[in-house]
Every structure is written in structure tokens, then in C-alpha cells.
């Protein structure tokens, strides 16, 4: 199906003012500026937003941002959120609007984690930081006013990769129990030659193939990296015992096929899994939820499933 008309008009307007990006010469810092990593965030009103620090996997300060959509009498369900950006760009400011919408739509406390990024901190630092954040959030649940027995993880793109890897790490290390994983258009493999959608959507909107390969090179040092399941979770030998999942892909996204395959692999391993491919939308459609009705509808419905799981 063709690209959603509303989003098509938005992307055309953005492209008119966007700088050219040559992925043979583009630096991570240049991309971070273009991506809005130094913005102040903002979006929907949320009942309460708090900025706190945890410590990363090396014992240094790691920022988190807590979104409380409503006042609660007791401990609230919580979702630990890992942002996208190819493990290289993005932070809690550039994803502030998206987290506000997710918190409001789900009614759960959302906790965004500012994990360290490649190439300064390549694999395995990002997943180790994310797992460390999960453990600290659960151990400090009383002070945070959240229910340690109602914890989920969520993420989009590279953040979905990190979210499901954190589920694997927590299972493998006897860590905190995770009730649900909500995964939007995730990267579940690092092998762009394996999946037909990588070629079908190689010049697709938002995430062209050259950009994805640039991310791979910065995160793991190559464009194919399948021997480490904490980087390429679809290659995990045993997916059983993971939390129930929802895996949401986009028709016009080059990551579509690996997302569908990961959902099927979870189902075969006995993991309760909801899968859907959203027509007419590209990668990163959640970014546009305030302007694109189809994107908001997907987000709201996914958050309803999340709320029911918690």
C-alpha cells in the first residue's frame, strides 16, 4: 500500500529543510545534532515528570526520566522504556514527546533510560546499561512508587532490540520478572542480506538501507553480526521462558521481515505473542503520533494491550 497521505506530506516538508546525509562521511555527532538530541523535548501534558539518576554498568551516573500519567494511591505498574536511534543517536530529550504519549495512553508509569551509545560505547555496553537500569528500578521500586510485580519493558527500533535482549538477560541471569514486552518495529537481526524487506524498502522513508548499515557498523563494527544473541536476539538458541510480547512492524520498513520472523520464533518457543504489521506506515511512525491519526491509533491500541497485561 502507498505511504499514509498525512505522513507523506509531513515527510515531504521535513525533507525540504533537512540537510543531506552522506553515510560514508557522516559523523555520529553530526547525526545527533540533526536528530534533535539537544532539544528540550515536550509534547502532551503529563501529570508529573521527574528526572533522576541511576548508575550505569560501570558505576557512573545514568539519567532516567519518569512519566507519571496520573496520581495513584498505591504502587503503579511501570514500563522501562529504551529509545531507538540505531544505538547511536537519540536520548531522553529527543524521545520526550513519544514517552509522554505512551504514558498517557497506557496509564502506566513510563521510565525512559538514557543508556550509553555507540560508537563511544559499542556493544555490549548499551544492553548492559539497560539491564542494570531494570535491576535498579525494581530494587528501588518502593522509593519510586511502582509495583515490582507489574514491570514491563518497551522500546522502538534499536530500543526494541534492547528491550527484548533485556528480557533474555533477565531470564538468563535470574533477574527481575518482566510481565510484558512491547516492541515497535524492532531490529532483531544484524544481517541485512537475509531479509527481503531490506531490499524492498532499501530506499524507503525514514530509515534507508545505507543508514541502517551505518548504525550496524557503529554498534558492532560490521554490517553482519549474528554470533552474539544479545546483539541479534533472533539467533538466541532458546526463546522459551520470555515474557509475553507484542511485536509491531510497519509495512514500509526494511526491518519488517525480521520482526515477523522474531514474532514467529517467540510463538514456536511457547511465548504468548501478538504480531501485527501496520499498513501504509514506515519505520519510526510513533514519532508522528500527534499528527498522524493512523500512528496514534496503533499506539493507543498497543498501550491498551500493555495495560491489560499489567
Task: Tell me the pLDDT tens digit for each residue of 165-187.
Answer: 999 999 999 999 999 999 999 99
Fold of 5-309: Rossmann fold (3.40.50)
Q: Which three cell numbers stand for residue 235?
A: 539467533
Stretch 261-290: mean pLDDT: 98
Comparing C-alpha atoms, which of 193, 202, 173, 195 is closest to residue 282? 202
Query: Is residue 72 predicted with pLDDT exceeding 90?
Result: no
Q: What is the pLDDT of residues 92-146, one digit of tens each?
A: 999 999 999 999 999 999 999 999 999 999 999 999 999 999 999 999 999 999 9
Stretch 56-62: mean pLDDT: 94
Q: What whole-number percentage of the chain has pLDDT above 90? A: 94
Query: Is residue 74 predicted with pLDDT exceeding 90?
Result: no
Confidence of residue 286 (pLDDT cuts 50, 70, 90): very high
Active-site residue numbers?
A: 157, 253, 283
Q: What is the pLDDT of residues 100-111, one digit of tens each?
A: 999 999 999 999
**In whole angstroms, how large is the CA radius of gyration of the chain?**
18
The pLDDT assigned to 41 comes to 87
The pLDDT assigned to 172 comes to 98
Output the pTM of the full model: 0.97
Q: What is the mean pLDDT of the chain?
A: 96
Q: What whole-number percentage of the chain has pLDDT above 70? A: 100
Query: Is residue 19 predicted with pLDDT exceeding 90?
Result: no
- H/E run at residue 14: helix 5-17
Confidence of residue 153 (pLDDT cuts 50, 70, 90): very high
Stretch 68-72: mean pLDDT: 89
Q: Which three cell numbers stand for residue 251?
A: 509495512
Q: How far apart are CA 47 and CA 71, in angstroms?
A: 7
Please tell me the least confidently modeled range out of 35-39, 207-211, 276-280. 35-39
Stretch 65-75: mean pLDDT: 89
Comparing C-alpha atoms, which of 278, 55, 60, 63 is closest to residue 156? 278
| β-pairing verdict for 109-113 and 76-82 | parallel
Q: Which three cell numbers stand for residue 301?
A: 491500541
HSE-CB at 32 with a 13 A cutoff on CA atoms is 15
Amino acid at each position: 500500500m502507498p505511504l499514509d497521505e498525512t505522513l507523506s506530506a509531513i515527510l515531504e516538508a521535513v525533507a525540504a529543510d533537512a540537510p543531506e546525509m552522506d553515510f560514508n562521511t557522516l559523523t555520529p555527532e553530526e547525526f545527533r545534532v540533526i536528530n534533535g538530541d539537544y532539544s528540550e523535548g515536550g509534547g502532551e501534558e503529563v501529570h508529573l515528570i521527574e528526572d533522576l539518576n541511576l548508575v550505569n554498568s560501570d558505576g557512573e551516573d545514568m539519567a532516567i526520566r519518569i512519566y507519571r500519567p496520573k496520581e495513584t494511591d498505591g504502587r503503579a505498574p511501570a514500563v522501562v522504556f529504551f529509545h531507538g536511534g540505531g544505538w547511536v543517536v537519540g536520548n531522553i530529550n529527543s524521545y520526550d514527546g513519544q514517552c509522554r504519549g505512551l504514558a498517557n495512553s497506557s496509564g502506566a508509569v513510563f521510565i525512559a533510560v538514557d543508556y550509553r551509545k555507540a560508537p563511544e560505547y559499542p556493544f555490549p555496553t548499551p544492553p548492559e546499561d539497560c539491564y542494570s537500569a531494570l535491576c535498579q528500578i525494581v530494587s528501588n521500586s518502593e522509593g519510586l512508587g511502582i509495583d515490582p510485580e507489574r514491570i514491563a519493558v518497551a522500546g522502538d527500533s534499536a530500543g526494541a532490540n534492547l528491550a527484548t535482549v533485556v528480557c533474555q538477560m533477565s531470564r538468563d541471569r535470574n533477574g527481575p520478572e518482566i510481565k510484558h514486552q512491547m516492541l515497535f518495529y524492532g531490529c532483531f537481526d544484524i544481517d541485512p542480506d537475509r531479509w527481503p524487506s531490506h531490499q524492498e524498502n532499501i530506499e524507503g522513508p525514514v530509515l534507508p538501507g545505507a543508514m541502517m548499515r551505518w548504525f550496524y557498523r557503529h554498534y558492532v563494527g560490521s554490517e553482519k553480526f549474528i554470533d552474539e544473541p544479545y546483539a541479534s536476539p533472533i539467533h538466541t538458541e532458546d526463546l522459551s521462558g520470555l515474557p509475553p510480547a507484542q511485536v509491531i512492524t510497519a509495512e514500509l520498513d526494511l526491518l519488517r521481515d525480521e520482526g515477523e520472523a522474531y514474532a514467529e520464533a517467540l510463538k514456536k518457543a511457547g511465548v504468548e505473542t501478538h504480531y501485527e504489521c501496520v499498513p501504509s506506515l514506515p519505520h519510526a511512525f510513533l514519532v508522528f503520533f500527534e499528527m498522524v491519526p493512523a500512528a496514534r491509533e496503533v499506539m493507543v491500541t498497543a498501550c491498551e494491550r500493555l495495560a491489560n497485561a499489567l
